[in-house]
Structure 1
Amino acid sequence: MTNSYNILTNAAFKYCELSPEDKDNIIDLYKEDGQQSIYESAKKKKILPFVAVLLSRLEIDKAFWVDVAAEYRKRNEDVIGCLDTIFNKLSDNGVRKVFVTENFGALLASDADKALFSSGDVDMYADIAQKEEIYKSFEQLGYTMIERYSHKKLISTSFYNDDILSGGFHFGVAWNPLSRMKLPCFVDADDFVEWDKLWKYKDTAINLPNIDALMYICLLHISLHSFSRAPDIRLYIDINNVSKLPVDWEKIISFAKRDNTMVRVLTACILAKKLLSVNVPEFVLNYRAQYERSISRLLKLIYDEKYNCLLYEPGGIKVLKIEVLADNGNLFFDFIKILFPNRKWVKEFYVGDKGSLIVAYLKHIKNLF
């Protein structure tokens, strides 16, 4: 991707005023590559509505791009209608511990432009103790479901109804707000989600989490994608959206210190500020000095300082290295901890309670590499 496309991509996710230089770069890129090339590139990266809203705002082929944005806005308004129906049914069946999270949750919580969501699913989190009531609710509304396991462990369940939302769009319910496919989850939702402070989106039945929990989830969610894996920069718009709300950043820091996630949280904050000029308080960024070695090494793996862009799609050993650095401890011992995680988790995840612990660890090491 050329630097001009990096500028276009970053600009599409910013809420602040663009610099004259960035505007000129975007105009020059459009003149050189044309509408169709820009459209195809944005569609491929799944950032089409963001680019459409930006170009409309810059009065570049406005009539065309306004229509593109309107299509996404209409779809997402339909999604909100579906969610309202779903949450009413969940309430009827006594489900209380459930909320919309991550990208769509951040969009609704901040009341951002409804066009600015291009994913093919909405993420929700729920207490697995109410799984049967949740399954019953979706079944009553005509949804089919697909359970997603990682080895022996149920990670999430996806619900589809093509008569309501076509094209494979679905609602995914995660049974842990920050599940990792190959490693134990590093936080417990009950430690930061204030279940008695769930709130409704406008005049709907849709539940949203307390603002501090939502920000914490969005920051840590970025780290689960190695900070730069798909959906890459789209992850950072969540931070931009939630940052417009009255976030208690002192509380975010207290969560991170307690959970040993400071490097994850700070790296996500630093990148959000660099890429999208997100308003992160200076006192938060000042904590970087305490974790400088890990953060600096992380940034070299995931961020291009020269072009102010993410280094896309790390894979294999690089992902493992990012994970080790993000844990912010002794590199050797953190690597050993990743190879040999908690016994209870590794048995439950790979072989079940009655399986062999040795076999479980062998499967885990094979799975990692």
Structure 2
Amino acid sequence: MKLLTKLADQYRQDPLRALALNAMAAQTPLNERSVQTLRATSPEKVIEFAKRNEIGPIIAKAILDHPACDDLAGRDLWQEIYDASHRRMTILMDTLDRVANKFAEADIPLVGLKNAGIARGIYPDPAACPMGDLDVLIPRKPFLEAHALLLEMGFVLETRSTVEPAELQAAFEGGGTEYRKEVDGETVWFELQWRPVAGRWIRAEQEPSGDDLIADAVTIEDSNVLLLEPTANLLQVSLHTAKHTYVRAPGLRLHTDVDRIVAYADPDWEKFVAWVKRIEVITAVYFSLALSKALLGTDIPDWVLRELQPPRWKRELIARWLQKADIFEPNEKKFNRAEMIGFHTLLYDDAAGFTASVFDTDKDHLTLQELPQNLRRGASRVADLLTRYDSN
């Protein structure tokens, strides 16, 4: 944690980065230094920085909410950024509700994942929840029926992946499908998932059961959209942040997910820690929590971080790697393919877990008797990672 705190302090030496971290914190208004930075810097420079880091509406809201910024030069430009986000998010939330209503008629529950759920049922201002798509979780059994309903609503099966085709069966087997629809001038990407994480690096027995998460989901007033219960929600976004290696697009903005769920949803920390240990994702989750605390001041109990901290050598190595990659500038290339594999290797809690992942199996099947079968699966998996994995 000390190394990550030091990293965050280094970021704060840059006035614009300090402003960004201040504005992103869920329940912290702009401080005096941030206001001074805004007054001393041209609006165009700050806006360009905010857009480059995909946090324009978040900074805009912080500015518009602060009385000391009422006469700020360029305030009208920030108002335009906020209004544009408000319009887009209104369209996205309306689309989410329409799909949930359609699915409810067919008795298919729908859970809003990540920013979709945070914007719809947790954070008080959806306009300050910029997002590129709507991610939802449904049960696996009615997945093909849900696919047909989306096509009926005018969605088109597509993909933004540079390595995965827009092919229904392959996408379904991988955990989910992507769709696109134009709505009132906005492009809406919709991700339909039956796997809550769908990471290429997480083993099947580690990933929480989507059907179990849906069974425990909580309702949102006046909506058919469901939310993961707070503890499960925190676990899901923590694993999602790790899936993006904490720095890849949308990068910096990822860390608001943990911050906002902790601030507004009140997870059960004892249950959370026990769950993380049981499914052996200690290292991956630790860095999601520790980065949120270091960067945004998230109120994560110290005892939780102590319980989950990996060995010192691993903390130091990952922290240095993150410093090199830079949590800002999400659209810059952070890793080459070999570095991506190396970084994810460090996120496994032990060697057996890593070996099981390489062989595309679970720990119980790492036996001499099953070695030939494991080697065949492992060769296929390694070839897939080396030839098709997109590290951008």
Structure 1 partner of 2:274: 254
- 1:139–1:334 distance in 2 versus 1, CA, 3 Å: closer
User: Could you tell me which amino acid in structure 2 is paired with residue 213 of structure 1?
Assistant: A
- 1:213–1:308 distance in 2 versus 1, CA, 3 Å: closer
What is the rounded CA distance, in whole Å, between the counterparts of 2:138 and 2:211 in structure 1? 14
What is the rounded CA distance, in whole Å, between the counterparts of 1:289 and 1:213 in structure 2? 20
What is the correspondence of 1:52-63 to structure 2 with a 5 Å cutoff?
52-58=60-66, 59=69, 60=72, 61-63=74-76
Q: 1:66 aligns with which of 51, 76, 79?
A: 79
What is the correspondence of 1:61-140 to structure 2 with a 5 Å cutoff?
61-96=74-109, 98-140=110-152
The answer (yes or no) to whether the contact 1:7–1:26 under 8 Å persists in 2 is no
Deviations along 1:235-291, one digit per CA (max 9) or x if unpaired, are 111111111222101111111010001111111111000111111112212225564
Q: Which runs of 4+ in 1 moved over 6 A?
A: 307-312, 356-359
Q: Secondary structure at the match of 2:256?
A: helix
- 1:141–1:281 distance in 2 versus 1, CA, 3 Å: same
What is the rounded CA distance, in whole Å, between the counterparts of 1:140 and 1:169 in structure 2? 16
TM-score, normalized by length of structure 1?
0.83
Structure 2 partner of 1:349: none
Q: 1:208 aligns with which of 220, 227, 236?
A: 227
Structure 2 partner of 1:364: 381
Deviations along 1:131-182, one digit per CA (max 9) or x if unpaired, are 12212321332222236785854332122221x2544322111231111246
What is the rounded CA distance, in whole Å, between the counterparts of 1:287 and 1:358 in structure 2? 35
TM-score, normalized by length of structure 2?
0.79
What is the rounded CA distance, in whole Å, between the counterparts of 1:48 and 1:62 in structure 2? 13
The answer (yes or no) to whether the contact 1:156–1:174 under 8 Å persists in 2 is yes
Q: 1:322 aligns with which of 343, 357, 362?
A: 343
Structure 2 partner of 1:269: 289
Q: 1:158 aligns with which of 178, 188, 196?
A: 178
Please state if 1:219 is matched with 2:251.
no
What is the rounded CA distance, in whole Å, between the counterparts of 1:142 and 1:92 in structure 2? 17
Q: Secondary structure at the match of 2:125?
A: coil
Deviations along 1:203-222, one digit per CA (max 9) or x if unpaired, are 12112121111111011111
Deviations along 1:83-116, one digit per CA (max 9) or x if unpaired, are 11111110111213x3110122123332331111
Bigger drift between 279-288 and 221-230 goes to: 279-288
What is the correspondence of 1:157-236 to structure 2 with a 5 Å cutoff?
157-162=177-182, 164-181=183-200, 184-185=203-204, 187-190=206-209, 193-236=212-255
Q: Secondary structure at the match of 1:226?
A: coil
- 1:49–1:365 distance in 2 versus 1, CA, 3 Å: same
What is the rounded CA distance, in whole Å, between the counterparts of 1:168 and 1:191 in structure 2? 27
Q: What percent identity do the matched residue pairs reach?
A: 17
- 1:41–1:304 distance in 2 versus 1, CA, 3 Å: same
Structure 1 partner of 2:312: 292
Measure how far apart 1:42 and its partner are: 2.0
The answer (yes or no) to whether the contact 2:30–2:62 under 8 Å persists in 1 is no
Deviations along 1:178-205, one digit per CA (max 9) or x if unpaired, are 1124664463433894433323322121
User: Could you tell me which amino acid in structure 1 is paired with residue 54 of structure 2?
Assistant: K
